[in-house]
């Protein structure tokens, strides 16, 4: 089995979104977007903090009005995670949120208006060390591009993106990332593949308007999985008609499955069958809810019988292999004398997982202390 990801990532330049590096070999970041009214400061702050708690590296906030810009100022003072301000049309809003500490501006230079207005935004971003995200969407292409191609195509999305890229290049501004999102998986994948050959800026991946929790997660996993497996992508957003917290969870699950990032417990569980010696589905569902707060990377296998159980357990940090009345327990691939009562598996597993996480964290802390002393 692969211990490390075999994926060779596309070489890209690096930008900083607040204190978070994007591109240039940095870990692929996971982000989401608030769906509260930005003018409701308390609700928006609460949602941002909840997103950070489940692992969000970056959070985007829509700023459609000057009132929202004033709210953004108050929000920014109360959160720690970097914030991207999402702005369309009114360049004055971009100038205001830049003044208020936005960590990134999501704009399309082409819809800001006259070149002097675009130049004002770019110069403000440059003066405040704020990067820009160019966000092209298959559902909102420029009128002339729509007329030229008659429908969204990968070439149409590429042309739109390069039009905005050229504007920033002419203004000698290079601290930007680009997205070319579409709701169609094949269209999005082909658009990103074309764009990846044209520029070396970081790419923000997403299947836009992907759908509800289940269908949207599947579409996003397929589309982003294709691109990430080819080394394309520096930051991702899973666009779901669901609680934004689910976007972060799905994003990390995608990266974990490709071994591109490790965060939290990677549960390896069988779908269950008549061979199972305990209720695998109920055990996994209950355990998953119990250990959501654990961010220490670990592989935990929960297999209901001895057919595949030992093999999975031997390559996991912790493993459970179903057996009559009491199931076998593995630690670091080694079968333990201790056996778990099938009537109380969730409590026993949670206890051992937390103990293992604590031991790993202590070991890492000690290693970091030693490394720090060696630098001194």
Which residues sit in the known binding site for [4Fe-4S] cluster? 270, 273, 305, 312
Q: Residue holding tokens 């049309």?
A: 89
Q: Checking DSSP bridges between strand 318-321 and strand 104-107, what pairing results, if any?
A: unpaired
Return d(Cα 106, Cα 249) in angstroms, integer: 23
Q: Residue holding tokens 């030229």?
A: 148
Return d(Cα 31, Cα 362) in angstroms, integer: 28
Return d(Cα 49, Cα 248) in angstroms, integer: 13
Radius of gyration of the chain (CA): 23
Q: What is the DSSP letter of 273?
A: -
Q: Which residues are annotated as a binding site?
A: 270, 273, 305, 312
341, two tokens: 């009562």
106, two tokens: 């999501």
- In the chain, the DSSP E strands lie at 15-17, 20-22, 29-33, 58-62, 83-86, 104-107, 132-137, 176-181, 204-205, 235-237, 265-269, 298-303, 318-321, 326-331, 334-341
């Amino acid at each position: 089995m692969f211990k490390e990801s075999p994926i060779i990532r596309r070489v890209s330049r690096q930008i900083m979104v607040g204190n978070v590096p994007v591109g240039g070999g940095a870990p692929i970041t996971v982000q989401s977007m608030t769906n509260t009214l930005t003018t409701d400061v308390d609700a928006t702050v609460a949602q941002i903090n909840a997103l950070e708690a489940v692992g969000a590296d970056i959070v985007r906030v829509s700023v459609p009005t000057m009132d929202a810009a004033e709210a953004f100022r108050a929000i920014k003072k109360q959160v720690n995670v970097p914030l991207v301000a999402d702005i369309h049309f009114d360049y004055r809003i971009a100038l205001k949120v830049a003044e208020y500490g936005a960590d990134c501006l999501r704009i399309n230079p082409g819809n800001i208006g006259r070149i002097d207005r675009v130049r004002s935004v770019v110069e403000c971003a440059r003066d405040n060390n704020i990067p820009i995200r160019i966000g092209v969407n298959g559902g909102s292409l420029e009128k002339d591009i729509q007329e030229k191609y008659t429908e969204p195509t990968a070439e149409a999305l590429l042309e739109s993106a390069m039009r905005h890229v050229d504007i920033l290049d002419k203004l000698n501004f290079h601290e930007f990332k680009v997205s070319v999102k579409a709701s169609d998986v094949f269209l999005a994948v082909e658009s990103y593949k074309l764009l990846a050959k044209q520029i070396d800026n970081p790419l923000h991946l997403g299947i836009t308007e992907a759908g509800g929790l289940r269908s949207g997660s599947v579409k996003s996993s397929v589309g982003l999985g294709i691109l990430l497996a080819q080394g394309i992508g520096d930051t991702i957003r899973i666009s779901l008609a669901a609680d934004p917290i689910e976007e972060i969870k799905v994003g990390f699950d995608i990266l974990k499955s490709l071994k591109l990032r490790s965060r939290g417990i990677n549960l390896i569980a069988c779908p269950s069958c008549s061979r199972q010696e305990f209720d695998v589905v109920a055990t996994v569902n209950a355990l998953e809810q119990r250990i959501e707060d654990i961010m220490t990377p670990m592989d935990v296998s929960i297999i209901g019988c001895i057919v595949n159980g030992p093999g999975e357990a031997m390559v996991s940090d912790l493993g459970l292999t179903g057996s009559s009345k009491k199931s076998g327990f593995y630690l670091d691939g080694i079968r333990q004398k201790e056996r778990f009562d099938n009537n109380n598996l969730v409590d026993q597993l949670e206890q051992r997982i937390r103990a293992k996480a604590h031991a790993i964290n202590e070991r890492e802390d000690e290693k970091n202390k030693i490394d720090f002393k060696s630098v001194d």
